[in-house]
Structure 1
Amino acid sequence: MSGPLSAPYVQAQTAAPATSETQVVPPPVFEEPQTPIARAIQAQVSTNLPEGLALYYGERAFAPVWFNENGLTEDAHLTIAAMAAANDHALNPNNYDPLGFIKRSETSQSEQEWAQFDLDLSVQFLRYATHLSSGRVQPNKVNKALNVFPDRPDPKMLFENAEQAVDFGAFLESLAPQTDNYARLKRRLAQYREKAAAGGFTQVPDGEVLKPGMSDPRLEVLRTRLMEEDIIVAGDHTGDVYDGALVEAVKLFQEYHGLETDGVIGKATIAQLNIPIQEKLIQMELNMERRRWMPDDPGQFYVFVNLADQNLKVVRDGKTIHTARVVVGKPYHATPVFSDRLEYVEINPYWNVPYSIATKEYLPKLKQNPTALSNKSIRIFQEGNEVAPTQVAWNSYSGGNFPFRLRQDPGEDNALGRIKFMFPNQFNIYIHDTPSKSLFTRAERAFSHGCIRVSDPFALADVLLVDSDATPGKWEAIRDSGERTVVKTKVEIDVHLTYLTAWMNKDGSTHFRKDIYDRDKVLLEALRRAMTENL
């Protein structure tokens, strides 16, 4: 950041009185402002200014940041231009008032006006940098299920780094997430905005269910609609029979929207085809915000679960090495968003029944029949001792008065299946097997109480425990033995539970998912409220 530099502040030389418990740190003493403009800035630095920003001004003896004797600096012009182009990043330029700064730069005359201009531009630059690097809203304040706490820029460090930047334009670009995922979605957002400006997406009329091999007068409209979303090109399919390339294009569309990929055009596919492009633009903008919450470096070896997509992938050294379908929490048992680290894998696990399930689901059954859980291999404990279910007066207990612990033994019917992947956390959420295999064939898979059930979990174990010197089939052999076994991981494996409803893959495909937990709706409302709020 160009402009006059000042000497660093001088700390007071006399130590403050100390107590036996604390050492009082004296406040910094700054150089006296050397120019009328600097004195005007000093006079207008208020308690409302972020602390780090006020300290930064003090360290430079309150010299202006954004202009000198020749007028606005190049950095100021670049900053105002970046704020004016904030819409490229799904941010609203009006939040930063770039046009107002241009006008003020042309009309300001007094030292007081220029001082206020400089301070205001600094505040708006901090706001823009914060929004661009870590999001317009703080996730956990928007939704307690979002346990994500992105690092917001330290004001003093931000301005010092800006001042030292050799290429200020490159520095401004570096404020955005430096990930391919973010860059791809940003690029696709711009392309969809062009499509919207050109008229958006053609509506496909309702009609009977269209299956491969059938004829239908809507085929021309269908071809046009799929071309608009870059899934098929002109000439790939002709004629009045729904077959060949058009069926394959519909299957791709279904895949990109989380539908059954059967090529059959029923109500669900028609509904997705007819979602207005403006809604898709909003969905992409919301997910640009979510990408800003995420770290640029998710780790060298990590598990990535997209709850909205209901899929899991394992990434090592930047390459996806395993994918799997998962079942996630029901909407009223929504799986939270958070990150943790895998610590161990347990084969043939016990299932310690959560208190809420024990009291809300199993206690009513026990009241009707004390032996109701015996065929599920669920045993009952009180103060560490097993008790016989027939010896308990179950009608005497309720959800607020339940001193028992329920535990299911390992086995085929265990609710956790035969293996679980543990990353201990405050939510008691983990990844595990399940005896209910049929659910993985469904397009929508939100059926659990919050934990994540994974298809083919022993294939996942082979990938995650690859550094455990295991011979092929070792984990399955332990499973078949029935012996409860804990295997600790030997390398760091991060686990990221995320919620993304729009993204663009490396192959150029653009994906949208149903907002199963209404988190898009909540985030959109929060962003609209933030339009008028300060940092």
Structure 2
Amino acid sequence: MLSPPFSHAPLRLLRPLAVAAALLAACPGYAANAAPPALADSGAEQTAIQSLLAGQDGVLKIDGELLDADALRQLYRPHHWQPLWGDQADSLMEILGAADQEGLQPSRFHLRAIARRRADGADAQTRAEAELLLTDGVLRYASAMRGQRVDPRSIEDDWFLVPAPFDARPFVAGHIKDIVPALQSLQPPYAGYQLLRRQLAYLRAVAAAGGWPKVPPGPTLKPGAVDPRIPAVRRRLMATGELTADQPVTPVYDADLQAAVRLFQQRHGLADDAELGRRTVAVMNVSPRELAQQVVVNMERWRWLPPHLESNHIVVNVPAAWLEVVENGKAVLSMKTVVGDPKHPTPALHAQLRSLVINPTWHVPSSIATKEILPKLKKDPTYLLANDLEIVSDSFPPGSPESQGIGIDWSSRTTFPWSLRQSPGSDNALGHIKFNIPNQEDIYLHDTPNHRAFSRASRDLSHGCVRLENPDALALYLLRDKDWTQARLNQEVQQGGTHTISVSKAVPVWLFYWTMWVDADGVLQTRDDIYGRDHRLEAALARPPSAKVEIVPKTSTQPQKVICEGCRIP
């Protein structure tokens, strides 16, 4: 039985290339350690390279493979069409062959076509074709490792974390003599990426060995049950470590199995009720091959990040509905959150937290006023008064009955025609504290009067903004250099006035989307793809490769503006 990898195992940038060797061994005539035939006539190869790149066509086709002729000309012309790689070629083949360890597809880098030509490379034309295929593969590998395969704005309307453009041509041109370590340096410098990389190797090994035991479908099983399906559950949980292998494989749902089921549910973001219902069994039966593909998608998102995050920052992982405050790489504060529901997804963005508001006023978005409040007013004309809501209009003086919805015929209205705000107080949808992170999407972090939602496993419930389980703790952290205490914060809230307080130094905030990560105990955590982003990215990565080496453009159509819809009415 294969054991899951542990986080304390050593991480290396370049693993043993067994997979690459196996792939290349399948190519006729290629041995991973064999050198290409001796170059009898380098001048002839030089001439063949120049001839292949002659003309103005942007695309070169060799053995059915599409090459970026323009990029290749830019590399070879300054070198007078001479071959570039010499004794580095074997190492480059190994790196490209091991691309699957990075979640990439080695077939995108022309390996089979190269191997065939290296095996039959007695003549200059064949060697020149192998050279150009290899160089194009190197360009594409470098581009892929820097997250250029998919522009997230092309598949998401609300993704504002765009990878920095990376042109592989000058990168490769500047590393002709040290291309192997240069390519190795392109891995994202994050432990999160490296740990997922190890999980990818583990999951693929499990899949190759036949996968995990399956759990048969059936009615919900609760602790204490005796059922012939229980042994299959035990074997499944032993395979991934939730249940120790020394447990007897009995049909009884005992206390040890109950603890193991709860642990499995927690690792997958399920309600940890210890019941073996349809949802839990379905997740148990997700194959390691499927999980490996989910890892690949999440590795790609790591490549979209800049080379380094700020030393101190706040990050919200939206699928996990979880916030962490990070100082020098360590989480110093963490809490549950509530994030946008599938119809109102929380966008991916980067902003700066500059201030917080005590006892905020909520300006109700017009869509909520029309879709949620108007129907309630038709049933109960006193709804605004009961929830501290007030119409803001020159037609209605503040405090008048009309400003509170009294005396207005709501029955025939199909839209809410006025601005609407909710006064500070215990029922305010923003709670007692709002954290301003200025951004064009009008997203912010805030308190909530409804803390029941934090007891749920699935917390995608808001209209886009991020509700916090413990806003007081975050406020006191941000104001720790200003002698704020819990007592002082409570006093400010109880006084009822609205106050905006600037923080001494802006704190970067990242709203990101990981449905898989490895936790501090080295355990792979998975969460639902609540917005379908994994699915869309997986489909985009599976598209046929472009004839040109990909570069995410500096400017393109911006995602549509997402307006935070605040919170649901309590």
Tell me which interval the TM-score lies in, with the shorter structure as reference length. Answer: 0.7 to 0.9
Point out the more displaced range, 388-397 or 263-272. 388-397
Residue 210 of structure 1 aligns with which residue?
221
Measure the CA separation in 2 of the matches of 1:372 and 1:39. Answer: 79
CA contact (8 A) 1:421 1:432 kept: yes
CA distance, structure 1, for counterparts of residue 335 and residue 72 of structure 2: 47
CA gap of 1:393–1:460, structure 2 versus 1, over 3 A, is: same
Structure 1 position 461 matched with structure 2 position 480: no
Equivalent position to 1:425, from 423, 439, 444: 439
1:112 CA drift (Å):
6.0
CA distance in 2, matches of 1:384, 1:99: 76
Partner residue in 1 for 2:12: none
User: Deviations 1:213-253 (Å, cap 9, x if unpaired)?
Assistant: 44333333222111211223311456554334322222110
CA offsets 1:422-461 (integer angstroms, 9 cap, x no match): 1111211111111111111111111111111111211222
- Asked if structure 2 preserves the Cα contact closer than 8 Å seen for 1:237 and 1:244, the reply is no
Classify the secondary structure of the residue corresponding to 2:538.
helix
Q: Verify: 1:267 aligned to 2:286, yes or no.
A: no
1:392, distance to aligned residue in structure 2 (A): 6.5
| Range with greater deviation from structure 2 (172-181 or 290-299) | 290-299
Give the aligned partner of residue 337 of structure 1: 348
Partner of 1:293: 304
Distance across 1 between alignment mates of 2:80 and 2:484: 64
SS of the residue 2:276 aligns to: coil
Partner of 2:558: none
1:149 alignment partner in structure 2: 162
**Match for 1:105 among 118, 139, 145?**
118
Conserved in 2, the CA contact under 8 Å of 1:37 and 1:63? no
Matches within 5 A, 1:146-225: 146-163=159-176, 165=178, 168-225=179-236
Does the residue aligned with 1:322 lie in a helix, a strand or coil?
strand
Q: CA separation in 1, counterparts of 2:196 and 2:159? A: 21
SS across alignment from 2:535: helix
SS in 2 for 1:145: coil
State how many pairs are aligned.
492
User: Residues 380 and 386 of structure 1 are in contact (CA less than 8 Å); yes or no, is this contact kept in structure 2?
Assistant: no
Residue aligning to 1:359: 370
The one-letter amino acid of 1:435's match is P
Segment drifting more, 87-96 vs 467-476: 467-476
Q: Relative contact order (alpha carbons < 8 A, sep ≥ 6): 1 or 2 greater?
A: 2
The answer to whether residue 385 in structure 2 is matched with residue 374 in structure 1 is yes
**Deviation per residue, 1:455-506 (Å, 9 max, x gap):** 1211222233333332343322211221212122223422111111122223
What RMSD in Å do the two structures reach over aligned CA positions?
2.9
Give the counterpart of 1:311 among 313, 316, 322. Answer: 322
- The within-5 A match list for 1:489-500 is 489-500=503-514
Distance verdict in 2 for CA 1:189–1:383, change over 3 Å: farther
Distance 1:241 1:461 in 2: 49
CA distance in 2, matches of 1:230, 1:74: 45
Structure 2: how far apart are the matches of 1:138 and 1:255? 33
Find the aligned partners of 2:100 and 2:504 in 1 and give their Cα distance.
45
In structure 1, the partner of 2:94 is 81
Cross-structure match for 2:14? none
1:32-51 equivalences under 5 Å are: 36=47, 39-40=50-51, 43=54, 46-47=57-58, 49=68
> After the TM superposition, which of the residue ranges 259-268 and 109-118 deviates more from structure 2?
109-118
Q: Classify 1:226/1:382 alpha carbon distance in 2 versus 1 (closer, same or farther; 3 Å).
A: same
Deviation, 1:419, is 0.7
Question: Aligned partners of 1:524 and 1:42: how far apart in 2?
Answer: 34
Distance in 2 between the 1:257 and 1:210 partners?
19
Cα deviations across residues 146-176 of structure 1 (Å, max 9, x unaligned)?
Answer: 22211232234312442353xx433222112
**2:519 is equivalent to residue 505 of structure 1:** yes
Q: Which moved more, 1:507-516 or 1:460-469?
A: 460-469
Structure 1 residue 177 displacement after superposition:
1.1
Other structure's SS at 2:504 match: coil
Query: Secondary structure in 1 aligned to 2:481?
Result: coil
Asked if 1 retains the 8 angstrom alpha-carbon contact of 2:235 and 2:249, the reply is no
Find the aligned partners of 1:135 and 1:386 in 2 and give their Cα distance: 56
Structure 1 residues without counterparts, runs of 5 or longer: 1-34, 67-72
- Aligned position for 1:90: 103
SS at match of 2:543: helix
**TM-score, normalised on structure 2?**
0.79
Alignment of 1:448-487 (within 5 A): 448-487=462-501
2:154 aligns to what SS in structure 1?
Answer: helix
- Distance change (3 Å), C-alpha of 1:280 and 1:135: farther
Change (3 A) 1:392 1:124: farther
Distance 2:482 2:363 in 1: 27
Query: SS of the residue aligned with 1:349?
Result: coil
CA distance in 2, matches of 1:517, 1:455: 22
**2:394 and 2:149 mapped to 1: Cα distance?**
49
Percent identity over the alignment?
A: 36
